[in-house]
Structure 1
Amino acid sequence: MKFWEDLWQNTKRAFSTSCPKCKKNDADLPSEKRIHRFVVKKHPHYHHHYHQGHDGKLHHQMTIDWEKTVELSCQNCGHTWTIKETEYGWRNR
């Protein structure tokens, strides 16, 4: 059973955030000391594409990339820092 617990902990550690100051990983901290995330700013980038459909006509497709500025705050040492993330989405017209 120890193998599966170690695998789960390493998976959580790979996909979680580490504090650049105290080097603690979010997966290793207790719930009251986790790294808090706040979206400070969200800005869309629109990309227009045209694809030829089965009927031979061009169909419009718009891709939206959301550029987010996220503020992170470590509850272990109190350090705050910001990162930029991109969230992808799309919409047909």
Structure 2
Amino acid sequence: MATGWAGDGAVQDQIDATVKDAIQRARSRMARGPGLSRCEECDAPIPEARRKAVPGVRLCVACQEAEDAEEGSHGGYNRRGSKDSQLR
């Protein structure tokens, strides 16, 4: 099957690279070390249950939700460059 300039497994290679990048990005954002008893942003107390559930926690729930929303607003880039994904 003719695929133009791309090799036979090029699409799967791009998918695998995207997944690998996402995993590395998620691991780099994970907190390490002991968790805090107070939020580093607003100084609110972090409940014991949250500290046990999320090792290395540094933010209260409200501040974590705000940070997650801010990170989610940044769009990723399109590796494939397909016309369909560029139209969205």
Flag the structure with higher strand content: 1
Larger helix fraction of residues:
2
TM normalised by structure 1 equals 0.27
